[in-house]
Amino acid sequence: MRHLMSPLDFSTKELDDLFDLATDIKNNPEKYAHACDGKIMATCFYEPSTRTRLSFESAMTRLGGNVIGFSDANSSSAAKGESVSDTIRVISCYADICAMRHPKEGAPMVAATKSLIPVINAGDGGHQHPTQTLTDLMTIRSMKGSLSGFTIGLCGDLKFGRTVHSLINALVRYENIHFIFISPEELKVPDYITEMLDEKNISYEEVISLDEAMPKLDLLYMTRVQKERFFNEEDYIRLKGFYILTKEKLEFAKPDMLILHPLPRVNEISVEVDNDERAAYFEQAQYGVYVRMALILTLLKWAK
Ligand code: CP
């Protein structure tokens, strides 16, 4: 039995197989409509979510399975003091696979050590968000035809954005990737990430100006400033409008640059950009369903 805690839990070969399966699911959904008949997924969300929880629930439903779970820690026995370890032992009696989101870094990992069923990390604090990364990689591979040879700009809250940390970790395994980290000083990518890039000899630059970076980018990954991770409301208010992607800013971008965003968006991409051909964030959300369908099938197969 295997769990998914980090995108690095899958080899690049296993990721390729996963994306091939997700592509087949996209093209032939009827083939998979009963693939999980009789199976149950538990979605245990101790932190708010729209995309991750509902795309998992949509994925399991489209595979013919059923879903149980909670979307708020206060409606679970966590509110009475139950530990994650005890909760997952009990969920193991009710479901065949579990997706867990938790505000504490490492909580899904703790659950995995006690679980009798595969556990998927659906986001743990500011740490990792592996299924968003699978979604991002699947979107890039499908829309750009490859995962190698790109200059990738990551813009916004690179300090607290777990999707950013997971995506960088995953992309370093592909060839000829150059990162441009675009953030204010206070929201720079953590040192452990730049140290890892230095060790692996991966090229990157850290800049403040989105305008200067824009013409070089093959992909622009925008992120929201993570209000829920700030200790100080004033800092959040000061930084939340630092980058706003507008039509005017895109005049300097390559004509085939892909604009990605894990969503939710607050104000960092102007809605007028949604009509730009390069805006791919809603397609990205759609790819999230196919890749989660493929993940559920793969982890259940390995658990047999
Ligand atoms: N991208 C993402 O994780 O969105 P949700 O918080 O809505 O799940």
Report the CATH number at residue 296: 3.40.50.1370
Let me know if 292 is a catalytic residue.
no
Instruction: Quote the ligand 1 centre to 296 CA distance (angstroms).
Output: 18
Which atom of ligand 1 approaches the CA of 52 most closely?
8
Establish if 272 belongs to a structural domain: yes
DSSP3 helix / strand / coil % (the chain, rounded to 5): 50, 15, 35
pLDDT attached to residue 273: 98
Establish if 1 belongs to a structural domain: no
Write the residue with the smallest CA distance to atom 1 of ligand 1.
262
Q: H-helix or E-strand containing 207?
A: strand 203-207
pLDDT attached to residue 216: 98
Establish if 45 belongs to a structural domain: yes
**Do 145 and 210 share a domain, yes or no?**
yes
pLDDT attached to residue 240: 81
Confidence band of 239 (pLDDT split at 50, 70, 90): confident
**Do 32 and 61 share a domain, yes or no?**
yes
Establish if 215 belongs to a structural domain: yes
Establish if 2 belongs to a structural domain: no
Let me know if 129 is a catalytic residue.
yes
Establish if 265 belongs to a structural domain: yes
Which atom of ligand 1 approaches the CA of 50 most closely?
7
**Do 122 and 152 share a domain, yes or no?**
no
Ligand 1-lining residues (CB < 6 angstroms): 49-52, 123, 129, 132, 262-264
**Do 222 and 238 share a domain, yes or no?**
yes
Establish if 112 belongs to a structural domain: yes
**Do 190 and 214 share a domain, yes or no?**
yes
Let me know if 80 is a catalytic residue.
yes
Q: Note down the domain range covering 94.
A: 7-128+285-303
Q: Which of 46, 51, 166 to mutate to test the pocket of ligand 1 (most atoms within 8 A of CB)?
A: 51
Residues 140-150: what's their mean pLDDT? 97
Cα separation, 67 vs 96, whole angstroms:
10
Number of domains composing the chain? 2
- pLDDT per position as a tens digit, 254-298: 999 999 999 999 999 999 999 999 999 999 999 999 999 999 999
- pLDDT per position as a tens digit, 96-142: 999 999 999 999 999 999 999 999 999 998 889 999 999 999 999 99
What residue type is 37 in one-letter code?
Answer: D
**Do 105 and 67 share a domain, yes or no?**
yes
pLDDT attached to residue 225: 85
The C-alpha angle with vertex 132 and arms to 285 and 209, in degrees rounded to 5, equals 90
> Residue 20 pLDDT > 80, yes or no?
yes
pLDDT attached to residue 81: 95
**Do 137 and 273 share a domain, yes or no?**
yes
**Do 203 and 274 share a domain, yes or no?**
yes
**Do 113 and 145 share a domain, yes or no?**
no
pLDDT attached to residue 232: 79
**Do 66 and 187 share a domain, yes or no?**
no
The C-alpha angle with vertex 292 and arms to 180 and 47, in degrees rounded to 5, equals 75
Instruction: Quote the ligand 1 centre to 139 CA distance (angstroms).
Output: 16
- pLDDT per position as a tens digit, 162-199: 899 999 999 999 999 999 999 999 899 999 999 999 99
> Residue 226 pLDDT > 80, yes or no?
no
> Residue 235 pLDDT > 80, yes or no?
no
Establish if 40 belongs to a structural domain: yes
Confidence band of 236 (pLDDT split at 50, 70, 90): confident
**Do 274 and 295 share a domain, yes or no?**
no
Instruction: Quote the ligand 1 centre to 198 CA distance (angstroms).
Output: 30
**Do 81 and 212 share a domain, yes or no?**
no
Cα separation, 242 vs 255, whole angstroms:
24
Confidence band of 227 (pLDDT split at 50, 70, 90): confident
